[in-house]
Every structure is written in structure tokens, then in C-alpha cells.
Amino acid sequence: MQTKSLLSFLALASVPLASAGNGNGNGHDKGSGKSCSHKGLDWYAKKAGLKYFGAATDSPGQRERAGLESAYPKYDEIMWKSGEFGQTTPTNGQKWLFTEPTQGTFNFTEGDIVVSLAHQHHKLLRCHALVWHSQLAPWVEAGTWTKDELRSVIVSHITNVMTHYKGQCYAWDVVNEAFNEDGTYRESVFSTVLGGDEFIQLAFETASKLDPQAKLYYNDYNLESPSAKTEAVRKLVRQLQNKKIKIDGVGLQAHLTAESRPTLDEHVAAIKGFAELGVEVALTELDVRLEMPANATNLAQQKEAYKNAVGACVQVDGCIGVTIWDFYDPFSWVPAVFPGEGAALLWFDDFSRHPAYEGVVEALTNKTQGYNGKGPRGVKRWVA
């Protein structure tokens, strides 16, 4: 999640209350007049050759800050029982701030709630995130570390967290958001003390020893179209590969804006650029925010943005799955971080669906422009 996401977590109480009336997760799209097929997005994704279509979620204890307890039953029905999602990621509970709030004292309560629900409902689990400059425990940032001390801190943290969750995570976001937009390393306690190359290599080396079955990802935002940042991440992947350090995937967070969305071709080019290095690619935190209020124009733009992103993933063999960053607008991080923007997900406050839901279904059923009769994995066109 982007740098300001801690603010969104702390400010959840300011998110407007849901109007949890008679809206229904299997109802008509708000503003579209269309009724969607209800097999579930994960079903469509797997028919299209992907491993999963998922949604991140928080523990109920964290969601209580939004004051939306009355919405929980419907939310939980869609999240866990509807068949819409085959995968989840704990939005906050596995981050450093929560797992090691004071040095050497570990607390897995929040992460364990989501992990337990994922296993109970047979959802694939992506785990997030081990080393990140944001939502970092204050003691890490405040410390005056020698190189050896900070190396020890990183190794201890990764060791304890990954050992606790060993065997439960399909993938881990090992390092999150280490680059600036120009491709230089972001300034953080990790890059300042150790240098970008060293702390990232240390994190991946450590992670690779602790859970050999887990896929290890580098995860970042603004990787959805070719840029200096995408080239820097490609260089990082090659560096790790050349040093024989395990890296299995690159996560494209895909926090997008409806009014200035990447094109389908830009998405495809970025995904291909990583996939050709032999690593998996996934859209890990997809949402598309609007300038509020939502209206027919920006909802149509949002639909196109979702359609382009998901359609590109389906077209490129190396792209294995899509996770939206929660699915229910009142639980989105966006309004607290970007005042005047919101409605970034696929379900409105009343649990009716955005027109963008149809855009995702279209992308997953080979209706996105760019298909020529077969899907990327040799799957012929099919009709739901």
C-alpha cells in the first residue's frame, strides 16, 4: 500500500458511514441498469487461466474504527461465502507496526484473525509485508543503528514473522515500495543505514531460508506502465537473480485513478517487462479512485480502468492473479488519504455493485480489446 496508508488506517473513523439498506452483493449495478452473472469473479478468473481473483481484508477489530458494525454480516457473506474471491491478503495485520510494536515483542493477533478466516473458507493467502518504510514500528525509525545492529533487526523480524506463518502463505511481499518514481532508492532507515541493494538482498536472503514453499515478491505502486521505476525494479530482479537470491514475483499494486488511467497496451507492456525475466506478476492492491461525487462519466472511466488492468493480466502468461484492496467502498483507504476522492472499489456503500464489476467480468471473459480468438494461455473464447 502507498506511503500514506498508515494515515488511512488511523483515520478510518472519518470514513462516511455506510448506507447498509437493501442493497445486495448480487444486485444490479448502480447506475448501469445491468444485471451481472453471479458465478463469482474468482470463477471467471480461473476460467481465464489465472490462479485467483481476490480481495484484501482487515480483521473486524480494525474495521470497527469505521463505525460500520451493522454492515459486517453482508460484508462477510460476500467476502467469504459468495464465491467472488478465492484469495485474500491481510490489509494491515501482518505489517511491522502490528507484528513487532516494540523490539523483540511480537503480536500476531490481527494477522491471525484474517489468516484463520482464509483457511476456514479455503482461500489462498498472500501475506503482506515484511520490510517497508511505512507503517513501521516507531522504535525502528527512531533507533540510531549501526549496520550490524540494523541487519540483526531485519533478520530477527523476518525470522519471527515468517516462522509464525510458515506453510500458510502462498506468497510474501518481502520488500515493499523501496523506489522513488525516478528509479532511485527511497530514503528510509533501511536505505540510509545499509543502502538499498544491501537491505533488499538481506531481506530476500533471509526470507528464502525460512519458508521455501512461499513465493517471494517485491511489491510497489506505479509499476503499471513502463517508466524509470519499472526499469529500476527490473534491474533489481536481475541483480537478485545474478546473485542466486530467490525472488519469485513482482507485485503491481495498481492503485489507479479513473481520470488518468493507463491504457491496456501500457499495462501489457509493463507486465511483459517483468514476466520476461522469469518471475510471476500479480496485481496485488488494485483499486481505481474517483473524484467525488461518482457520476456516469467517471464511473465509465473507472470501468475502463478496471477492464484494462484485469484484461492485461489475463493477456500475459506470467500474470497469475488479481487482488483488489478490499471490495467495499466504506472500508477503502482512499478517502482518508485523498480528500475529495473515493468510490475506488467494486461495491458501493449499499452493497450494490459498481459498473466496473461488469468491466472486470468482460476482461475475464475475453471481451477486452486485444484478444484474437484465444486467451493468453490458449484458452478459446467462451460464453458464460
Catalytic annotation, residues: 177, 285
Q: In whole angstroms, give the CA distance from residue 350 to residue 211.
A: 41
Scanning the structure block, which residue is given the C-alpha cell 444486485? Answer: 27
SS3 113: helix
> SS3 helix, strand, coil % of the chain, rounded to 5?
40, 20, 40
CB 83 within 8 A of CB 42: yes
- The C-alpha cell at 216 is 517471494
Q: In whole angstroms, give the CA distance from residue 239 to residue 261.
A: 30
CB 363 within 8 A of CB 314: yes
SS3 30: coil
Angle between helices 296-315 and 264-275 (to 10 degrees): 30
Amino acid in position 167: G
Of 140, 129, 50, 59, nearest to 86 by C-alpha is 50
SS3 98: helix
60-69 core/surface letters (b: 16 or more CB in 10 A; e: else): eebbeebbbe
What are the residues whose beta carbons fall under 8 Å from the beta carbon of 299, sequence distance 6 or more?
31, 32, 258, 290, 343, 354, 355, 356
For 62, 140, 168, 189, 357, the CA distances from 58, given in Å and listed in that order, are 6, 24, 17, 27, 22
Q: In whole angstroms, give the CA distance from residue 32 to residue 372.
A: 27
What are the residues whose beta carbons fall under 8 Å from the beta carbon of 61, sequence distance 6 or more?
110, 113
Q: What's the sign of the alpha-carbon dihedral 275, 277, 280, 283?
A: negative
Number of other residues whose CB lies within 10 A of the CB of residue 103 = 12
